Structure 1
């Protein structure tokens, strides 16, 4: 008996963020590799008339044009927690399910936020450069002092799964914690700030953990940065679009903000030269979830969402 054929899916971009993700998808499905096509939309109209599922990533997303080029499409399964790059409105209009990979990356992203907080506060990246460049010992006491983390005030923009994990870690550092969301939560012990500006004015550290997209674009603007003030430290592990990058650069250059730790940027992978030149900024290449354990778990969850869709018509972690 011939083996059963594997279900065909459309794959928008390579799953290059994990060594196990692509082999896992290839083992269970027959992906149509859209990124290899010179004219992707024409290829979809030619090849994908009966394909019902897409696999994508938070980086590649899925546009309305792609959705509308696939008349049989019923599910978009994304590798990553963010879904601002997927046209959710178009998916809903066409009755298409969308899933992401929440929970499995929460701890690693929260850990990265804390790594950036400590690195930005204690000048860890700057100190590493100082030693590597041979400056240590040339002038006694020449390396600038950092700032304490323990016991300070931690403000969190976006108290979802990741924001809550960041807050729990803050308790271990004896920090006072407040947060700002669209709405206050009655199931957490931390105080709610009714505006982002009020939160920034109160906080020593402001960590951005909210979703991206049009609703949060440049939510952290010049006014918020001014409220955070010259002793404030900003950390972003959400989306670069949440921060007005031009205003951030000006605040850092002019001493209106002490330092920042950034894993994400407005126009990735381009990072402004002004940011790269500043010693009071710690920069990471969007790697908050980039551990072997988390990326393998994300790949497994994408697979399980696809399998659940083909077996039941539903996904396990709908957006």
Structure 2
């Protein structure tokens, strides 16, 4: 049966193979983390503050920003603590919770990207009925399905991992409690969870990708059929280009790690790809949507001008009050 151990904690090795780079990596990852969180918070604040952005497209975009912040916050703070303090121990329960929360974010983003593609399909292919089809109730329902589906889809995997038996080393060759890294340490047969992972990938994630692909095929055909001017087509395609870029980046990085058999998984390669996925996507998403989206840029400019105007008016009032106080003091002295 082998020597099974009652694992109470794991050791996250992170990037311990580069001891001389621990502080530079800490500085780099902290900077990227702060920039990504601030960028996504800015998107959320602008969407909430500007009434013109209270539309389905920006509602789902705000949800995407929430997911990006959650996925970062679940994984990055522990990595930063490991890099700074070299305290790489994490309790078993915390490790399982971290893995669950991370996989929830990934699964939710799969569904949400499909929902955003459907929203663009309705907006372009059926514009006259867009406000009727994508009403507030439907948008709230689609967002709820995305989140609840993420919780339910990942629960069986987490339950199975929490009942694994671990033998020998408790060192995780990753920078967080990743599913593939934990399966490397277990003495339990992993064929069942691999089958479950592939089954869920084919049913849920492939379904989401198929919906995205179908939506954009219909969008392209509709644009080519109904819009004949080059300028009109350019504007129509520009409304979808940001989402397509995010989808491409999301799928190419994620599927490289999780849809490969464990026999060919290389943990060093997985770490590099996962770093790209966890750090780059939340950092790039706000940039893609803000740079290529006219409404967001206008809303950001209005917000900046409004705050600048408020600041100037406040300074004017303070100067006026100070001047009035000085004049009063002079009158009293006279």
TM-score range, shorter chain: under 0.3
Q: Which has the larger helix fraction?
A: 2
TM-score, with normalisation over the residues of structure 2? Answer: 0.25
The structure with the larger Rg is 2
TM-score, with normalisation over the residues of structure 1? Answer: 0.26
